[in-house]
Chains A and B, each alone.
Chain A
């Protein structure tokens, strides 16, 4: 198939692409870091049967004029943001997307946020670098003959071991996974490897689908009540909006931690703030907020039992490799007459 690639493409997969593509050409965002203009894109698509794009706008106009086009691949999770799916469907063009391209990045970020907050990693790093609370001081036990002891910072009750140690291990505790899609599965797999008991809430997943992780499907109330660490990884839908309400947060153990790397509308952030402020829960790791950027002076910025990152969970250089691998796999399924998992308009595939 004559092919145009405007997506960022991991060159390690070029041989694999060549088994599908002929007259292969790279252009656009993937080459220049700038989206192609519509008129240039239309010109570049002359005779092209397979388009692998990422950020270019594949509008109705583009689809109307590209009359050789047979397949559109958009290397994003949310292809609808760049491709006019309705127009493609009308023309019978399947639109493949790179579902879960950032699943590993988000899963690693979520697990690390939980560890950062429960082990005070970010807090003590911050105190060391931005305050002199932990360095410009003398401890009662670092005098005399104990001056040369190198095996500990200090055992003084005012020392970091006493003040910032004592967080829980994840080992042996209960992990609550909310949402079991591409990302949730990756998070759950890591929690299992940490030797945690795994509870999963996802109304679209059956018990037998999680047996391989020794996990248990439970309702949301049970998950909130019994978990020591909770991760939210689901889309915003009318069902999930406000799902983690004040009532749900109130069910949490006082020793429990929660991480949100999904979207803010899923949770009542006011109730979360109150629970954190009053130490009704142990802590939280947050990557998403009701307003982004966080407004200056926002109350969350003053919480010490919280680790805040500015919507970074999906920001990884390795995503290009993942999206390339995913879309090539999906393309092979489609060309082999199968039904790809990540297709925006399955109705265009004839039974």
Chain B
């Protein structure tokens, strides 16, 4: 029997790519080949006769799906296959698979690093000293140093004591509130508990017993916002979550609390958030996602000291492809063996069959 034809535009690593090659007639192209997204027409051309398509970033529209009648399986190696028209897959009876939690470690670690970078002024003091603040006079020989019992940056320049100006607080003993408890929440929980934090979570799709067994307090959304020192958005964009966080939620937050968003900006009302931040009704924010990306160059967030902002890279660790490659190889092997998929996104497909 001939091997099924498989088109791969997702970045897949060894040994997983070779495992797929053993089972399929593989062509690697598009993003995976030259880090450029393949346009729709080219994609349709490539997919001719293909049974399996493993994609990462290319747009897979209804038109593509309709134009490729041989397609039997699409795997999008992302945590949320937003670039694939899921309804069109379902209509054609094509299972759409995805890679839930592939970047959960990356995002969880980012959240820990970035929140401490904010509250301990790591990012801010890093700018300040590179911009020339708090520095000493140039010295001919920096190794010509008199021994002192203790070393302090500077206590003698009035008004210029970074130790006091950048004094922050610890996450130890504080409360971390999660809005949404999925793959990222699970990874975070272990780290935050070891750091001595208390955790509460709001997620209508997770049972309170499951949360409690993980050491997490199950809470309403209002409780999460009113009692947490850190509130972190960790849910997907759905009709339910779009605009879910607005003026009411921000008004419940402690004035000392920090807001964290590594999910998607559209979950949060931009005006309500900016008002809360600029009026100091909340202490600060960590943001990796924005209402418009790239962030417009005149956005006020770019001039604020009490935020840590990064250009949508929280999930971008180099280890993410290892995770999704493993998942893709597993799914291809299941497909070839005729087993049902483990990571099905459009659940209705199976019922229709």
What is the interface of chain A, defined by CB distance below 8 A to chain B?
Answer: 78, 81, 104-105, 108-109, 111-116, 119-122, 124-126, 128-130, 132, 134-137, 139, 141-142, 145-146, 149-155, 157, 159-162, 164-172, 189-190, 192-195, 263-264, 288, 290-298, 301, 307-312, 315-318, 321
Contact = CB atoms under 8 A, between A and B. Distances in A.
A193 B296 contact: no
Given A307-B126, A317-B169, A172 B319 contact: yes
A311 B172 contact: no
Nearest to A286: B126
B276 interface: no
B2 interface: no
A168 B123 contact: no
A295 B138 contact: yes
Contacts of B319: 168-169, 171-172
Nearest to A160: B311
Nearest to A167: B317
Contacts of A136: 297
Given A126-B130, A301-B130, A311-B153, A193 B195 contact: yes
B174 to A, nearest CB: 9
Contacts, number: 274
B151 interface: yes
Interface in B125-178: 125-132, 134-139, 142-143, 145, 149-154, 162-164, 166-173
Contacts of A296: 132, 135-138
A65 B265 CA distance: 66
Interface of B is mostly: loop
A167 B293 contact: no
Interface string B281-297: 00000000000111111
25 contacts: A119-B110, A129-B309, A135-B297, A153-B312, A160-B313, A164-B311, A164-B316, A165-B313, A165-B316, A165-B317, A168-B319, A189-B194, A192-B194, A194-B191, A292-B154, A293-B135, A295-B135, A295-B137, A295-B139, A297-B138, A308-B130, A311-B151, A312-B121, A315-B164, A318-B173
A124 B110 contact: no
B308 A293 contact: no
Contacts of B57: 152, 155
B81 to A, nearest CB: 10
Contacts of B196: 104
Given A142-B294, A312-B121, 17 more contacts: A108-B171, A108-B172, A115-B109, A122-B122, A129-B303, A130-B127, A151-B83, A155-B31, A161-B312, A164-B316, A169-B105, A169-B106, A292-B153, A295-B135, A308-B126, A310-B166, A316-B120
B106 to A, nearest CB: 6
